[in-house]
Homo-oligomer: A and B are copies of this chain.
Amino acid sequence: MTIAIVGGTGPEGSGLALRWARAGETVVIGSRDRERACRAAEKLNALPEEVGSSARAAAISGEENQAACQSAEIVVLTIPFSGHAEMLKSLKPALRPGQVLVDTTVPLAASIGGRSTRTLGVWQGSAAEQAAELVPDGVRVVAAFHNLSAEWLRLDGPVDCDVIVCSDDQQAAQKVRALARKIPGVRALDGGKLENARIVEQITALLIGFNIRLKGHSGIRITGLPRESYDI
């Protein structure tokens, strides 16, 4: 299974690439500029393996965004909201039915010059629902990874955060929850329909506020659910 990370040269995309490669997944970093993607991949490949890890990390490669998508079963979007709609339109010819598109985008007001602690209203309800409107028929959109701090992903060791996964396609959601669990420390939860992404996206703005006010890299954990909730 190949995972393409569109906008994978940024901190969130690179962090996810690193963690999945360490779990043995085949990861392609996508960028508008193939050279930049390759350089970002090389940089990640050059990082020392995690101390105490027995797994052999897979090598990350770089590609232009469209080419990265063509080879992948799972396409992960990690781009600023300002380029979200345009990027999806440009990816359209490279996407095909059956592929899973994972949208991590948060419509932060910062993406158009406002505050990173506020979100923009998206007509469809959320960035993920905007994505669902823009992908070709049969592409299965899943919203996830919004609340996972890029700073944690770039460090070694487990992250202290749950991943809430929202989708109208149960099978695709399950695939993405399994992928989330490959990141040490992550528990992945069924967040219900894609429409719920509007709440999960906004939580990120709240977390950014905590980071600014209280100086940290915050995340969330959902408590009070049966243990098996985190394994299905």
Contacts and interface: CB of A to CB of B under 8 A. Distances in A.
A196 interface: yes
Contacts of A205: 199
What is the interface residue range for chain A against chain B?
35 or more
Interface string A197-228: 01110110111011001111111111111100
Interface in A158-172: 160-161, 164
A54 interface: no
Contacts of A218: 222-225
Interface in A88-138: 117-118
Contacts of A207: 222
A202 B205 CA distance: 13
Residue picked from A196, A203, A223, most chain B C-beta under 10 Å: A223
A219 B221 CA distance: 8
Contact of A117 (B196, B216, B223, B229): B196
A143 B149 CA distance: 26
Nearest to A189: B210
Given A160-B224, A200-B206, A214-B226, 18 more contacts: A117-B192, A149-B224, A152-B224, A160-B223, A164-B206, A190-B213, A191-B209, A196-B206, A199-B203, A202-B202, A203-B203, A210-B222, A210-B225, A214-B229, A215-B226, A216-B225, A218-B225, A220-B223
